[in-house]
Structure 1
Amino acid sequence: MMKKMINLELEGNENEVEDETDCDVCSADEIQSIFAEPYENIVGKKIVENDYILHLDATLETSYNIAIGTSGSDVHVCNLSENGLQRIETFSDNAPCVGVKFDTTNSNILFSGHNDSTIKMWDLRTPSKTVQIFNDKTNKKHPKKKVFSCFDLSTNSILLAAGTELHDSDAYILFWDARNSNILGGYWEYHTDVITQAKFHPNDPNKLATGSTDGLINIYDLSQTTEDEAIENTLNTNSSVEQIRWYPHKKTSEKLAVTTHTYDAQLWDVEMTEIYAEFDRENLAENLKRKIPDYIYTAANYVNKSGELVLLIGSNNQGGRCLRGLKVDNNKLKPCYNFQENSQRIRSCCYNSTVNNLLTAGEEGVLNVWKFL
């Protein structure tokens, strides 16, 4: 039995003051030749009014479902097929959403996390009520609930892990068996501030990485019986962790892509516990061909069909319309995509490798789907 556990999600960063002097450092024709890889914008649709879209997940079929978590309490589900984008369901809650995740074995099952200390399981075939609710029952005598900030589902859809905000000076990672809603326990010894990310390894359901505003990323082996035995490595970013993503690299060791709240991008070798590449705002601005680094932000990242890590980088100028893709190639950045139709500051993305679609969404409540050619 595990000894302790957690879940969390952070508020988004506010837009910076616009500066009309922030612009490209070369002509539009030069930008097009530098960011030359082709794509098609097959969807550009406003999904919500007066809310940000902070969370996205998608199933991997050719005709696939999309889960959209807003800065409010609603979770919208759409389907994208050859007939276009159709909204098929909306799940409303009384508490802000901190994440959405489809079951990897059943595309009709969706999990939504909320900061009222619950993760809810929904079945799209019977959407009128929740199938199961996962909550904190570790201390029934304590009147104050732990506030969830993020969550994730293991690749075999058996284990749920949720991070929390500080609770009596501790930050928790809580665990449940997703098949029956039983809480298994929690961890609380190795983070000292809000847990912003909990990410299961894509191939190992027993391996979990967690990131926090304390600047640390912890790697756990959940097959162990205690927290002290489970902790494998601690990575110190010397910043506040916003996003983490596992990704393959040379297949001989584990890699993490990390985004900080100061907009740095770090690439970590987990086994060696060291950064092997780091890109600050000045470096990102240079590769993005933008003039003012202070307006650059790291929007999101994803691993493409070829196993390459792609960073989505934008500028806060002009409402965040500038969004471009930079591939990581031999630990250097290679320009690839210029998303000219983007109209907002991006807050989330996900990728469907089956149809080579990238989904992005953000502060104007717009969902874009980009098909790579």
Structure 2
Amino acid sequence: MTAVEKVEEQLAALRIARRCVPRQEPAYLLDMDTSRGSQASSSSSSSSSLVAVSCSSPALRLYHRDTLQLLREYRAQPGALSGVRFARTCPSLVFSGCSQGSVQCWDARSASQKPVQVFSGYPSNVFISFDVSCTDLIVCAGTEKVEKDTFLVFWDARGVTDCATANKEPLGVYSESHNDDITKICFHPMEPNLVVSGSTDGLVNVFDINKDNEDDALISTCNSDSSVSSLGWSGEDYKQVYCTTHDEGFCWWDMAQLDTEEPITLLHVLDARESICTENHSLHYLVGGFYHEKAQKLFLLGGTSTGDIHLMSCGRAGLGLVGSLRGGHSASVRCFCWSAADESLLTGGEDAQLLLWKPGAGEGSLTKKAALKIPSSVQKRVRVHSTSLKSRKKCNA
């Protein structure tokens, strides 16, 4: 059995190990992240097994990763949350984006309802995406389009714990590379100067933020032909970029081929639902992807409106179904985190449930919670656009 086959077998064997205790106040679970900093110090050991979840309530919740016990909940200024990220070098710090023009940083060791730092945008900014560089030095947030303006806003995140409750002003913005809402931002997992952004304009842009200006910083512009819903890095040294779209398409590019004559598009699937649709396995939507370093393989996660989860492998020949996880969620899954350390999967969705899946696990007597009816106002808007590329360095089809 090859390494890839073994990993695919492990993924197909995932079973529910834990299920969070349902909250009295139901809310969609929209985004999540797990702390993965060093456990060498005593200060980090208490936060080395946390999962942070952003909810539609809106609230930021912290759980113990192994037991799924709710530890605390943060509620700050009003406005929809646009994501959650743990700091990489200091796992006790967790960032949350807010549509009301700020990114907030919280100390996971404290129950205080005041963030330790607020990264404030410009008055018209409505943030719908953000990320933090792998060295925790830079925060970047993407805005909705207001009139004709769409921004990537950057802040210096150094010294975040030394100036409690202080506001930080932006370092600057990129304003020319997207012409519609910036739905996703993802820093490179190893190179802190590289960041990729995706938008409802269909463009996926890769930047080197060490450059002096936006034009020089823009390394490549790829066109997904649709509205970008998720982004990520994959491949050896993470030189590949992939995205999913709001109409369930998938695009995959190799940035290592930019300066060669070879086409950089590895795969472009217009509708993944047609690729995975069989008699027993329907696919309604894509959630996102994760790169499995051990198998050197990119996997996608999708599902059905009734809560089934499908795991798919990505290859240059197309998408393939690896396995389906059933009996967990009762509504659409909206977010997940994959852990390479123990080969486990965390999932959250519109049924307000947080589930931990492990190979061969069994959850015992816990029962499946019924689907929740939550007003459609918390649903993400879906807008699909077709756009032509501007005069940038473009990806070869």
Equivalent position amino acid for 1:338 in 2: S
Q: 2: distance between equivalents of 1:254 and 1:352?
A: 21
Q: 2:99 is matched by which residue type in structure 1? A: N
Partner of 2:16: 41
Does the alignment pair 1:232 with 2:232?
Answer: no
* In structure 1, C-alpha distance between the alignment counterparts of 2:102 and 2:314, rounded to whole Å: 37
What are the within-5 Å matches in structure 2 for residues 136-151 of structure 1?
A: 136-137=121-122, 144-151=123-130
3-state SS of 2:248 partner: coil
Per-residue deviation at 1:199?
Answer: 0.6
Query: Equivalent residue for 1:308?
Result: 297
Which residue, out of 26, 35, 52, partners 1:50? 26
Q: Which residue of 1 aligns with 2:63?
A: 78
The code of the aligned residue for 1:86 comes to Q
- Match for residue 205 of structure 1 among 192, 203, 218: 192
CA contact (8 A) 1:35 1:336 kept: no
After superposition, the Cα gap between the structure-2 partners of 1:246 and 1:224, relative to the gap in structure 1 and judged at 3 Å, is: same
The answer to whether 1:296 aligns with 2:280 is no
The 3-state SS of whatever aligns with 1:183 is coil
Equivalent in the alignment of 1:325? 311
Aligned equivalents of 1:71, 1:124: Cα separation in 2: 20
Task: Give 1:196's match in structure 2, choosing from 173, 177, 183.
Answer: 183
| 1:218 counterpart = 2:205 | yes
2: CA distance between counterparts of 1:288 and 1:89?
A: 41
Once residues 46 and 211 of structure 1 are traced to their aligned partners in structure 2, the CA distance between those partners, rounded to angstroms, is 35
Contact 1:45/1:366 (<8 A) preserved: yes
1:19-168 equivalences in 2 (<5 Å): 37-45=12-20, 47-48=22-23, 49-60=25-36, 64-81=49-66, 84-93=67-76, 94-128=78-112, 129-137=114-122, 144-168=123-147
SS of the aligned residue for 1:169 comes to coil
Partner of 2:149: 170
Change (3 A) 1:210 1:73: same
* Distance in 1 of aligned mates of 2:104 and 2:206: 26
CA contact (8 A) 2:231 2:288 kept: no
- Are 2:321 and 1:335 aligned? yes
Paired with 1:132 and 1:367, the residues of 2 have a C-alpha distance of 28
Q: How many residues align?
A: 326
Q: Which amino acid aligns with 2:19?
A: G
Distance 1:278 1:34 in 2: 26
> 1:231-282: CA deviations, max 9, x gaps?
1110011111111111114x5x82112101110111112344642212343x
**RMSD (Å) for aligned C-alpha atoms:** 2.4
* Partner of residue 165, structure 2: none
Query: Is 1:179–2:168 an aligned residue pair?
Result: no
Higher relative contact order, chain-length normalized (CA < 8 Å, sep 6+): 1
Q: Which amino acid aligns with 1:100?
A: V
Indicate the percent of aligned positions where both proteins have the same amino acid.
28
- Maintained 8 Å contact 1:59/1:352: no
Q: 1:47 to 1:99 in 2, by over 3 A?
A: farther
Choose from 250, 266, 269 the match for 1:276: 266
C-alpha contact 1:267 1:278 (8 A) present in aligned 2: yes
Q: Quick check: 1:72–1:95 contact (8 Å CA) kept in 2? A: no
Q: State the AA in 2 paired with 1:60.
A: R
Give the whole-Å Cα distance in 1 for the aligned partners of 2:287 and 2:332.
Answer: 8
What TM-score does the superposition give when structure 1 sets the normalisation length? Answer: 0.81
Give the Å deviation of 1:352.
2.0
Structure (1/2) with the larger strand percentage: 1
Does residue 1:362 correspond to 2:349, yes or no?
yes
Describe the SS at the equivalent of 2:64: strand
2:286 and 2:68 mapped to 1: Cα distance?
Answer: 27
Structure 1 residue aligned with 2:44: none
Unaligned runs of 5+ in 2: 1-7, 40-47, 160-167, 259-263, 361-397
Q: Distance in 1 between matches of 2:32 and 2:169?
A: 26
TM-score by length of 2: 0.76
Moved more, 257-266 or 268-277: 268-277
1:346, 1:214 → 2: CA distance?
Answer: 25
Q: Name which of structure 1's ranges 124-133 and 327-336 shifts more when overlaid on structure 2.
A: 327-336
